[in-house]
Structure 1
Amino acid sequence: MIERTVARIVAAALRLPWLTVLLTIALTAGAVQYISTHFAITTDTSQLISSDLDWRQREQQFDAAFPQHSDTIEVVIDGATPEVAEAAARKLHIALSAKVPEPIEAVRRREGGAFFEKNGLLYLSLDEVKQTTENLIKAQPVLGTMAADPTLNGLAKALSFVPQGVEAERATWADYDKPLTVLSGAIDDVLAGRPSSFSWDELLTNTKPAPADLRRFIEVKPVLDFGDLQPGAEASDLIRETARQLDLTPEHGVRVRLTGSVPMADEEFGTVAEGLALNTALTIAAVLVILWLALKSGRIIVAVIVSLFVGLALTAAVGLAMVGALNLISVAFAVLFVGIGVDFGIQFSVRYRHERHSLEALREALVAAGRNAGKPLALAAAATMAGFYAFLPTAYRGVSELGLIAGTGMVIAFLTSITLLPALLVLLNPPGEPDDVGYRMLAPVDRFMARHRIAILAITAIAVASGLPLLQRLTFDFNPINLRSDKVESVATFNDLMKDPATAPNTIDILTPSLADAKVLAEKIEHLPEVSRVVTLQSFVPDQQPEKLVVIQDAAGLLGPSLDEPAAQPPPTDEAMKATLKDAATGFADAAKKAGASPIAARMADVLGRLANATPEQRTAVDRALMDGFKLRLSQIRTALGAEAVTLQSLPEDIVSDWTAKDGRARIQVAPTGDGNDNANLRRFATAVLAVAPEATGVPILIQESAKTVVTAFIQAGALALVSITLILYVALRRVSDVLMTLVPLLLAGVVTLELCVLLGLPLNFANIIALPVLLGVGVAFKIYYVLAWRDGETSLLASSLTRAVLFSAMTTAVAFGSLFFSSHPGTSSMGELLALSLCTTLAAAVLFQPILMGPPRDAKKPNPVDGDPASSTV
């Protein structure tokens, strides 16, 4: 039935070849026009999984309550010193705020700002407050002198008190050794023209700045255009350009980096596109070479390529009409279409070459090719389509849409192969085939395999069974970050932040009805062993405020008068500055001659003397390098000593809006203990929090739930594909044994593929798992070809023209899929690797294992009357 139908369709196309071609051209032109006007691709990764799922709805509810936290750009500013980092953050924040509302919607400091600058000491422990204020009081002579004259001249005056203090026994050289070493090194660097990193924090507190002290954050809410392939590129480019204009560069001791959901998505697309043109050109060249080896005719190759292009254009147009916009997964339909669709063209063309060897007439050979290849091609298309359509009911929307487009593309590829392809062949009129296209040299291999069939089956079974324990070590990488290139700035910065628990974005958020509910729930959660800290709006009201305020106010009383801003006065002249520096150098030189003096005294005398004798420009450079940071630090000290009691009512609006929604709902943020990069640790953390707060959301929960959704989707799709393919095969083959002959090698290839994944250290992930349904689609096509040839009585499968078609079809598919392996994008590369691996196993199962499994045909055909060679018998 199928054979006759396909033969009639081919014959109709051959009777009116020009009409067939012209109609196809018209359809293709319409498809291209539709693509050009309707092409759209969304890079919004949040749309890859159905929004109807409970955990997605919780995520959306939280994003709706606190929209300022979604789709953001995190600007990470690292400075050589805390002062440099803070000054850079202030400059950039002011500059970016001026760009609102286009292309930036909002800009805010994630830490810092006027409120924390004033009340920051209250958020330290009582002991830390005491220690900080004691250090400031000890530095009062230096601070007071320099506050009155915040220039290099004032610094020189303050330094002159050091040897006086040691001589009066109010301090020892050991007290000054470390800060003076740092200061002298900074002056040396500037005089030598080297970058200087000098911190007044280190000088005043005698402690090295912690890594967190050298980092500041700005959160930018960009205006996104999801119709653009890189929706946040305009905002990201603006931030980088603004930083360059402000000299916030490594040459000036500042590094500005971007991370967050927006730049990570943008740069991910950029990574995917990197080298795409070269890879595509090389892939096309390789496919053309393989087609030449398979078809040996430029005219046939042209017909196959044209049919493939037409099918691709029609599939793209139909796909866009069905889904509206492609996503980052469904866009892979093109690779799948080329990889699988070309199989139909090769199968038909190789079959035509075989028939042309027996039948001299071109049209008769094409009709015979349609009649004899029609059933296997139709079954292969139906089974492949069923494999892709199996994803339609799943919640993994990205692959569901890919399945819809790719499955429909299989139907289109089949139809073009039995209409346009034969019409083009009759018009191009390729020469006859003097030789058959099978592999006669493989006939001895066929006979060897037939003689040792049982032994080979047993060895295969033992080998595959021996590898089954490996499946226990099969891993699934649930971390989506590992699918991104760590060479791009956003991912490298994200991984850098993950190293610090204070900045790692692996927290859980909970939305509660009110602040009172948040307080009660937070108290329950903070006792969980999997939780390191819990933050609510209440957390911004410091504890022990009365005691801390007393300590701060005492320090303010002692330091306040000496830190007050002096009345405006002209800056000291360069000559006055030189004189002050020489006096300070003399003081250190005299001290260095006395018994018990530290070597730092002589070093300071030398450094200050050289600075006094330097050029005015060098002194100006030293003044700028040292005193700009001091002025900022002095301003911060003055502000911090004015701390006031903090209450919920006195918290600034930006903090309140971060932790309470407009309708009164309150947010709880929960951080994990242990390694935030460890999937098992995050899974325990998420499970523990969800047990107490089922309404929770956040990165750890989203990762775990999305992993479950994706794995469940593939299990559902795999089961549905297997059932639907089995039904299709049974309807077509009418024998359970023949259905098993088709499916057993397919399942064997799947098992071997997974075993090889363990041996090669290739974990499954959200991207490469797509290889499994593709294995079903491609694999079942190859198996159907062999089963139908075997049912027709083929006695020498390896030597037949079918094996030639399958091998070269597999080679072109492998090139198309394997080209993904060379992508700069790790996820795409892993997809290509597993696709190529699965293709190799399914090809081996079809070509080597399936003929042995099937054994001798039930009714072996007689030798072909044309050439007497079983290798040329009907497929």
Structure 2
Amino acid sequence: MIERVVSFIVDISVRLRWASILLGLALTAGSIFYVANNFAITTDTSQLISSDLDWRQRERQFDAAFPQHTDTIDIVIDGKTPELTEAAAASLAAALSESKPDPFQIVRRRDGGPFFEKNGLLYLSLPELKETTEGLIKAQPVLGTLAADPTLNGLAKALSFVPLGVKDDRAKWSDFDKPLGALAIAIDDIMAGRETAFPWGQLLTGGSPNPSELRRFLEVKPVLDYSDLQPGADATALIRETAKRLGLTPENGVRVRLTGSVPMADEEFGTVAEGAAINTAVTIAAVLFILWLALRSGRIIFAVLVSLFSGLAMTGALGLYLVGALNLISVAFAVLFVGIGVDFGIQFSVRYRHERFNKHGLRDALIAAGKNAGKPLALAAAATTAGFYAFLPTDYRGVSELGLIAGSGMIIAFLTSITFLPAMLSVLNPPGEPHDVGYQSLAPVDRFMARHRHGILALTAIGVVAGLPLLTKLEFDFNPINLRSDKVESVSTFNDLMRDPLTAPNTIEILAPNLTDAKALAAKLDKLPEVGHTVTLASFVPDHQDEKLAIIRDAADLLGPTIEPDEIAATPTDAETQTTLRDTAKAFEDVSKLPGAPPLATHMAATLRKLAEAPVDARAKVEKALLDGLKLRLAQIRSALKAEPVTLENLPPEIIADWITADGRARVEIGPKGDGNDNANLRRFASAVLAVAPEATGVPILIQESAKTVVRSFIQAGLLALVSITIILFVALRRISDVLLTLVPLLLAGVVTLELCVLLKLPLNFANIIALPVLLGVGVAFKIYYVLAWREGETSLLASPLTRAVMFSAMTTAVAFGSLFFSSHPGTSSMGELLALSLVTTLAAAVLFQPILMGPPRNAAKHENEKALQTEP
């Protein structure tokens, strides 16, 4: 039945060859036009899973409650000193806020601004606050001198208190060892023209800066251009240009990096596109070479390529019509179409060459090829389509859309192979075939495998079974970040933040009906051993405020007149500065001669004397490099000593908006205890929180639920594909034994592929797992070809033209899949790697294992008689 229908279609296409070709070209042109005007791709990996799932709806509900934190650019500013970092953050925030015409909806400081500058001391613990204020009080003479004269002259006067205090036994060298050493080195470097930085906290309070003091964050919500494949490209370019214009560069001691959902999505698309043109050109060249080896005719190759390109264009147009926008997984449909769709063209063309050798006439050979290849091609197309369509009902949207497009593409590839391709061959009229296209040299291998069939089957079974324990060690990488290239700035910055528990985004979020409920829930969650901390809006009201404010007021009473003098000294002349530098250098020289004086005293004396004798512009350079940071530090101290009581009512509106919605719902943030990057720890953390608050969302929950959804989807799709393919095979083959002969090698290839993944340390992930449905598609096609040839009585399968078609089809598919392996995008590369591996196992199962499993064909005698008749003169 199928053979007659296909041969009839081929006959009509050949008879009406010009009409068939024009129709095919018209559909191709229309498809190209549609693709060019409707192409869209989304790089948002969160959209790879259905938004209808309960945990996805919780995520969307939370994002809708706090939209200011979605589609953002996170600016990470690292400086060599706290002063440089703070100044950079303030200047960049101001410049971006003033950008016109309003490219940003929101520009805000995440960890600074007037509120925290004024009340930051209240958020320290009591011991930390006491230590900080005591350090400031100790530095009172230095602070007072510098506040009254914030110049190089004032700095030299302030430094003179050090040798004076040591000489009078009111200070020890150990109190100044680190800050004075750093200051001397900084001055030496500036005069030598080297990059340097000096943290003023070391000199004023004696403490080294905390890592958190050297990093600041800005959060920017840009206006996105969704008509662009990289919607945030203009915004990120403006941020980079602004930072460069402000001199916020590594050469000036500041590094500005961008991360967040917007730059990560934009740079991921750039990574996917990187090298795509070269990879495509190399792939096309390799495919052409393989097609030449398989078909040995430029005209046949041209017909196959035109048919393939036509089918690809139509599949692309249909895919965009069906899904609207491609995703990072469904975009692979093009490679799958080339890899699998070309199989149909090669199978038909090799069969045509075989029939042309036997029948000689062009039209008769094409019709005979349609008749003899029709059933295998139709079954292969149906089974492959069923394998891809099995993903349609799953919640893994990325692969579901890929299945829809690729499955539809298999139907298109089949139809073009029996219509457009034979019409093209009829017009091109390739020359006749002087030799058959099989591999007669492999006939001895066929006979050897037939003689030792049982032994080979036994060894294969033992090898596969012995490898089954490996499946218990099969890994699934649930982290979507690992699908992105860590060579791009957004991802490398994100990974950097992940290494710091204070900045890692592995927190869980909950929306409570109100702040009272949020506080009660936070108190309950704090008792869980898996929880490290909880935060609500109430957390921004510091504890022990009365005690802390008393300590701050005492420090302010002591330091206030010192750091806020009634008048600032007149700007000294350069001569006055030189004199002060020489006097201070002399003071250090004098104490350096005392017993127990460290080398630092001599070093400081030499540095100050050298600075005094240097040209005037050298002193001006040192003053600017050092004193700008001092002025900022003094301003921060003045502001911090004016702290006032903090209540829920006087918190800044932007902080309230981060934790309370307009309708009164309150946010609870929960952080994990232990390693926030350890997947097992996060799994325990997420499970513990969900047991208390099933409405929770956040990165740990999203990762765990995503993993469950993907695994469930593949189990569901695998079973559905297996059932549907079995039904198709049974309807066509009518024998349960023949169905099993088709499926057993397919399952064997799947098991071996997973065993090799363990041996090669190749974990499954959200992207490369699509190799499994592809294995079903390619594998069942190859196996159907062999089962049908075996049913027709073919006794020497390896030597037959079928093996030539399968081998070269597999090579073409391998090249198409292998091109993905060389992608700069890790997810795409891992996809290509596993696709190539699954293809190798599938090919081995089809070419080597399946003939042995099937054994001698039932109609061997009939086939040999037909073969003899065909070879008679």
TM-score of the pair, normalised by structure 2: 0.98
Check whether the contact 1:585–1:606 (CA below 8 A) recurs between aligned residues: yes
Residue identity matched to 2:829: S
Aligned to 2:827: 827
Aligned to 1:331: 331
Q: How far apart, CA to CA, are the structure 2 residues paired with 1:173 and 1:3? A: 98
Superposition deviation, residue 174 in structure 1: 2.5
Superposition deviation, residue 569 in structure 1: 5.9
Q: How far apart, CA to CA, are the structure 2 residues paired with 1:36 and 1:504? A: 41
Q: 1:435 and 2:440 equivalent?
A: no
Q: How far apart, CA to CA, are the structure 2 residues paired with 1:822 and 1:584? A: 64
Q: How far apart, CA to CA, are the structure 1 residues paired with 2:565 and 2:389? A: 75
Higher mean Cα deviation, 675-684 or 797-806? 675-684
Check whether the contact 1:351–1:373 (CA below 8 A) recurs between aligned residues: yes
Judging changes above 3 Å, is the alpha-carbon distance between structure 1 residues 100 and 700 closer, same or farther for their aligned structure 2 residues? farther
Aligned to 1:639: 639
Aligned to 2:11: 11
Judging changes above 3 Å, is the alpha-carbon distance between structure 1 residues 375 and 866 closer, same or farther for their aligned structure 2 residues? closer
Higher mean Cα deviation, 807-816 or 214-223? 214-223
Q: How far apart, CA to CA, are the structure 2 residues paired with 1:347 and 1:821? A: 26
Q: How does 1:197-236 map to 2 (within 5 A)?
A: 197-236=197-236
Q: 1:95 and 2:95 equivalent?
A: yes
Aligned to 1:656, what secondary structure does the other structure show?
helix
Higher mean Cα deviation, 637-646 or 588-597? 588-597
State how many pairs are aligned.
872
Residue identity matched to 1:675: D
Aligned to 1:743: 743
Aligned to 1:107, what secondary structure does the other structure show?
strand
Higher mean Cα deviation, 438-447 or 855-864? 855-864
1:540-561 per-position Cα deviation (integer Å, ceiling 9, x unaligned): 0111111111110000000000
Superposition deviation, residue 30 in structure 1: 1.4
Q: How far apart, CA to CA, are the structure 2 residues paired with 1:660 and 1:100? A: 30
Higher mean Cα deviation, 158-167 or 792-801? 158-167
Aligned to 1:41: 41
Judging changes above 3 Å, is the alpha-carbon distance between structure 1 residues 861 and 576 closer, same or farther for their aligned structure 2 residues? farther
Aligned to 1:76, what secondary structure does the other structure show?
strand
Aligned to 2:152: 152
Residue identity matched to 1:162: V
Aligned to 2:797, what secondary structure does the other structure show?
coil
Q: How far apart, CA to CA, are the structure 2 residues paired with 1:782 and 1:230? A: 40
RMSD: 1.4
Aligned to 1:387: 387
Q: How does 1:621-700 map to 2 (within 5 A)?
A: 621-700=621-700
Higher mean Cα deviation, 255-264 or 283-292? 255-264
Aligned to 1:122: 122
1:320-362 per-position Cα deviation (integer Å, ceiling 9, x unaligned): 1111222222111111100100000000000000000001101
Aligned to 1:848: 848
Give the fraction of aligned pairs with identical amino acids, expressed as a percent. 74
Aligned to 2:732: 732
Residue identity matched to 2:423: A
Q: How does 1:694-773 map to 2 (within 5 A)?
A: 694-773=694-773
Check whether the contact 2:299–2:428 (CA below 8 A) recurs between aligned residues: yes
Aligned to 2:860, what secondary structure does the other structure show?
coil
Check whether the contact 2:511–2:667 (CA below 8 A) recurs between aligned residues: yes
Aligned to 1:644, what secondary structure does the other structure show?
coil
Check whether the contact 2:178–2:202 (CA below 8 A) recurs between aligned residues: no
Aligned to 1:354: 354
Residue identity matched to 1:78: D
1:288-331 per-position Cα deviation (integer Å, ceiling 9, x unaligned): 00000000000000000000000001111111111122222211
Check whether the contact 1:43–1:226 (CA below 8 A) recurs between aligned residues: no
Aligned to 1:307: 307
Superposition deviation, residue 274 in structure 1: 1.1
Check whether the contact 1:44–1:226 (CA below 8 A) recurs between aligned residues: no
Aligned to 1:319: 319
Q: How does 1:518-529 map to 2 (within 5 A)?
A: 518-529=518-529
Residue identity matched to 1:311: G
Q: How does 1:269-284 map to 2 (within 5 A)?
A: 269-284=269-284
Q: How does 1:371-382 map to 2 (within 5 A)?
A: 371-382=371-382
Q: How does 1:319-718 map to 2 (within 5 A)?
A: 319-564=319-564, 566-567=566-567, 570-718=570-718
Aligned to 1:263: 263
Check whether the contact 2:525–2:692 (CA below 8 A) recurs between aligned residues: yes
Check whether the contact 2:299–2:430 (CA below 8 A) recurs between aligned residues: yes
Superposition deviation, residue 598 in structure 1: 3.0
Judging changes above 3 Å, is the alpha-carbon distance between structure 1 residues 783 and 867 closer, same or farther for their aligned structure 2 residues? closer
Check whether the contact 1:42–1:228 (CA below 8 A) recurs between aligned residues: no
Judging changes above 3 Å, is the alpha-carbon distance between structure 1 residues 528 and 866 closer, same or farther for their aligned structure 2 residues? closer
Runs of 5+ in structure 2 lacking a partner? none
Higher mean Cα deviation, 61-70 or 588-597? 588-597
Aligned to 2:793, what secondary structure does the other structure show?
coil
Superposition deviation, residue 401 in structure 1: 1.1
Aligned to 2:160, what secondary structure does the other structure show?
helix
Aligned to 1:216, what secondary structure does the other structure show?
strand
Superposition deviation, residue 782 in structure 1: 0.2
Q: How far apart, CA to CA, are the structure 2 residues paired with 1:780 and 1:817? A: 18
Q: How far apart, CA to CA, are the structure 2 residues paired with 1:714 and 1:194? A: 59
Superposition deviation, residue 172 in structure 1: 2.2
Q: How far apart, CA to CA, are the structure 1 residues paired with 2:203 and 2:570? A: 27
Q: How far apart, CA to CA, are the structure 2 residues paired with 1:299 and 1:841? A: 32
Superposition deviation, residue 177 in structure 1: 2.1
Aligned to 2:176, what secondary structure does the other structure show?
helix
Superposition deviation, residue 45 in structure 1: 2.9
Q: How far apart, CA to CA, are the structure 1 residues paired with 2:385 and 2:766? A: 22
Q: How far apart, CA to CA, are the structure 1 residues paired with 2:595 and 2:754? A: 77
Q: 1:291 and 2:296 equivalent?
A: no
Aligned to 1:306, what secondary structure does the other structure show?
helix
Superposition deviation, residue 744 in structure 1: 0.3
1:464-518 per-position Cα deviation (integer Å, ceiling 9, x unaligned): 0000010011010111111111111111111111111100010000000000000
Superposition deviation, residue 863 in structure 1: 5.8
Q: How does 1:132-211 map to 2 (within 5 A)?
A: 132-211=132-211
Superposition deviation, residue 720 in structure 1: 0.6
Q: How far apart, CA to CA, are the structure 2 residues paired with 1:178 and 1:288? A: 69
Check whether the contact 1:794–1:861 (CA below 8 A) recurs between aligned residues: no
Residue identity matched to 1:226: Y
Judging changes above 3 Å, is the alpha-carbon distance between structure 1 residues 724 and 227 closer, same or farther for their aligned structure 2 residues? farther
Judging changes above 3 Å, is the alpha-carbon distance between structure 1 residues 356 and 866 closer, same or farther for their aligned structure 2 residues? farther
Check whether the contact 1:863–1:869 (CA below 8 A) recurs between aligned residues: no
Higher mean Cα deviation, 670-679 or 503-512? 670-679
